[in-house]
Amino acid sequence: MSNRPGGRSYSTRVVTGPEVQERPAPYAEHELGGDLFAGDEQGRFRWQRRLSGVLRERRWLRRLLQLLAVMAFLAGALVFAFPFITNIGADRRQGQLQREFAEPATRSAYVSNSIGRGHALTRIQIPKLGVDSIVVEGTSLKDLEAGAGHYEGTALPCERGNAAIAGHRTTYSKPFARIDDLRAGDQIVLITPVGRCWYSVVQGPWVTAPDDAGVVGKLGGSYLTLTTCHPPGSAAERLVVRARLVFSEPRGA
């Protein structure tokens, strides 16, 4: 023990072996966190100042970023508005098809089995779902802008075989939006230029691969098969409902 000016006492430590450095006392937890946080803030401020300087020096880069931001906003707005836009177009198309469906020329073309793609073929009504829509011939992307289309090569409505119809589920008036709610015994009505018929659901809904052509293949008896995309908004799979013909009558009966 030794005394130094100021009245303080200090101890003298004798080291007999290699000098050992004592570790400094660790920072208190709140002090260490504060230092790290302060470092992060300073680094962030430096990065922001550097970026601001670059944008001030390079006006073209600032304008490019502004343009990209505007394009991203417009793209998001378009994705959100797309279903509504298609519904407007499909509703307008349905009005045209209803007038076409009532024309004598449509009846003549139907009898001769010469209705062209994209033209009115039949009218589908599903009372449980509130569906009432004109179905065109064909299932191309263009054809289905009407909402629903008849698979070419399948049986005509109300006739023997498998009459198959595809319909949109989330766009273009989405006539098949809720066919997953159909159950055995539910009624589906098809009206053609020459008659009408009633089908009763006997199977479905079930999910299959989008390239499963068997669901629209030939069947013994008189059936109606409805298909749509699954899950809603995706073409990853196909949702299918099948109904059997129970009654038909000539138009005007």
109 & 184 share domain: yes
| pTM for this entry | 0.70
Q: Is residue 24 pLDDT above 80, yes or no?
A: no
Count the domains in the chain: 2
Cα–Cα distance for residue pair 125/135, rounded to 1 Å: 10
The answer to whether the beta carbons of residues 163 and 223 sit under 8 Å apart is yes
* pLDDT confidence bin for 75, thresholds 50/70/90: low
71-75, 154-158, 190-194, 208-212: the lowest-pLDDT one? 71-75
9 found inside a domain:
no
5 found inside a domain:
no
61 found inside a domain:
yes
Mean pLDDT of 45-52: 67
Residue for token digits 């020329």? 105
109 & 145 share domain: yes
The answer to whether the beta carbons of residues 227 and 165 sit under 8 Å apart is yes
Domain containing residue 72? 33-86
The chain-wide mean pLDDT, for the chain, equals 82
Report which residue type is found at 147: G
117 & 82 share domain: no
Mean pLDDT of 186-191: 98
Mean pLDDT of 137-152: 96
Q: What is the pLDDT of residues 99-143, one digit of tens each?
A: 999 999 999 999 999 999 999 999 999 999 999 999 999 999 999
Q: What percent of the chain has pLDDT over 70?
A: 69
138 & 233 share domain: yes
Indicate which CATH number applies to the domain containing 135: 2.40.260.10
57 & 140 share domain: no
Mean pLDDT of 203-210: 94
Q: Is residue 156 pLDDT above 70, yes or no?
A: yes
19 found inside a domain:
no
> Cβ of 111: how many Cβ atoms within 10 Å?
12
